[in-house]
Chain A
Amino acid sequence: MTGLRYVYAVCRPFGTPLQSQLTGVAGDPPRGLTHHGLVAVVSHVPERDFAEEPLRAHLEDLDWLTETARAHQGVIDALTTVTTPLPLRLGTVFRDDSGVRTMLEAREEDFRRTLDRLEGRVEWGVKVYAESEPQETAQPAPKAASGRDYLRQRRAQTRSHEEMWQKAETFSVTLHEKLSAFAEDSRLHPPQNPALSKASGRNILNAAYLVPRAHSEEFVEMVDRAKGESTGMRVVLTGPWAAYSFAGEEQLTGGEKQ
C-alpha cells in the first residue's frame, strides 16, 4: 500500500457498512482501521497532494479546498448515519497505518471520554438572517422634491433600519435562549461571510446546538415554529451534523470556560 493516510474521524466499532459508493477526499473509499477497540476512519491519499508542501499550497486554492471540505464532510455525514463519529479537523494526515495506530493509542482516553459524552447526540445549526433593507423595497421613496424632503426621507429610513436591527437582535436573543434551554449544549459561531455563504440578508445569529437524536424531532419543530414568527427574519436550520462544534478538547473539561 502506498500513499499517505488521511483520517476523517474516530468512532467505536460499528456493524453497519458504509455506503459502497462513498469516496473520500482523493477518490479512495474510506475504511475503518481498528485498534484498541477504537476505529479510525481512513483513506489513502497521494503524497503529491497531501505531503506538507503541496497540501499547504492546495489549501490556498478555494476550489480545491471546497472540493476537499465537501468530501471530508461527506464521509463524516455517512458515518453519522451509522454511529456517533468524532470528526477530526480537515487535513489530518499520517505516513502509514502504524502512525494512525500510534495516535489512537496516545489519545485513547480522550477519545473514549468524548465518545461517551457525545454518544447518540447530533449537532443542529441555526442561523438567523435579517433580510436587508425591507423598508426600502416595501415602499419605494418618492423622488425628493427638495433637500429638506430628502433629509426627512433619510431620517425615516434610518429610523426604520434602526428598528429592524433592534428587532433582529431581540428575535435572535430570544430564539437562542429558547433553543439553548432545550439543547444539552450550545455554541455561538461568528456570523458568516456572505461571500462564502452566498446567503442574502445579514447573518445575525449563527449557533450550533447539541441535541440527543431522540429529541431532535422536537428541536426541529421548535425551529420550524420560529420561522414564521417575525417578518423580515429568516431562520435557517442545517443538520443533523456530527457534533463538530462540541468535539474539541476544550470541552473535555466540561462546560463553559471562564
Chain B
Amino acid sequence: MTTPSRMPEPYGQQSGANLADILERVLDKGIVIAGDIRINLLDIELLTIKLRLIVASVDKAKEMGIDWWESDPNLSSRARRDELARENAELRERLARLEELEPGRAEQKEAP
C-alpha cells in the first residue's frame, strides 16, 4: 500500500485534530447501524444542547452550498451589519445624552 510520504504528523496520531474534529466525526459521521443496545445519539441532552455542532444538520449546510453560513447570525455579514447599525444608533443616542449632561466638555472639544 502506498502512503503519501509527507504527513503533518506521524500517521495514526491525529495530533492536529482537536476534540471537535474527533467528535463531529465519531458522533455525527460514519455508518449508522442499529445495534442490540439502542441509543439514539440525538436523544442525548449533552450532544443536542451543549454541543451545538451535533444538531446542526450537515445535509442542510450541503443544500445551501457554500453560502451556508448566511443562515447563522453569528457568521452572516447581513446579520452583523444589522447588529452594527443597531449598536451605532444606540451609541449615538447615548452620546447625545452624555453631551446634554456635559455641555461644557462637548463645546470645548467642538470649538473651532
Contacts and interface: CB of A to CB of B under 8 A. Distances in A.
Contacts of A7: 33, 35
A66 B17 CA distance: 13
Interface in B1-29: 1-8, 11-14, 16-29
Contacts of A52: 37-39
B11 A240 contact: yes
Nearest to A110: B31
Contact of A190 (B25, B37, B50, B56): B56
Interface of B: 1-8, 11-14, 16-33, 35-39, 41, 43-47, 50-53, 56, 58-59, 61-63, 66, 68-69, 72, 75, 77, 80-81, 84, 88, 91-92, 95, 98-99, 105-106, 109-110
Interface of A is mostly: helix
A239 B81 CA distance: 36
A245 to B, nearest CB: 5
Contact of B33 (A92, A204, A236, A238): A92
B6 A217 contact: yes
Most buried by B among A7, A165, A238: A238
B18 A198 contact: yes
Interface of B is mostly: helix
A123 to B, nearest CB: 8
B8 to A, nearest CB: 6
A60 interface: yes
A241 B39 contact: no
Contacts of B95: 147, 150-151
B53 A190 contact: yes
Given A88-B33, A148-B110, A204 B11 contact: no
Contacts of A250: 59
A155 B88 CA distance: 8
25 contacts: A4-B37, A55-B39, A69-B23, A77-B14, A81-B12, A89-B32, A90-B41, A94-B35, A94-B36, A145-B109, A151-B88, A151-B92, A187-B58, A187-B62, A188-B68, A191-B69, A191-B72, A196-B23, A196-B51, A196-B53, A204-B75, A213-B2, A240-B4, A240-B11, A247-B30
Interface residues of A, number: 90
Nearest to B23: A69
Given A88-B32, A217-B5, 11 more contacts: A7-B35, A59-B46, A94-B35, A99-B36, A147-B106, A150-B95, A151-B88, A189-B53, A193-B20, A196-B23, A244-B26
Given A89-B27, A146-B110, A188 B53 contact: no
Nearest to B11: A81
Contacts of A184: none
A196 B5 contact: no
Nearest to B33: A92
Contacts of B52: 190, 193
B4 A69 contact: no
A121 interface: no
A213 B3 contact: yes
Nearest to B40: A56
Given A99-B36, A166-B77, A190-B56, A196 B20 contact: yes
Contacts of A90: 26-27, 30, 41
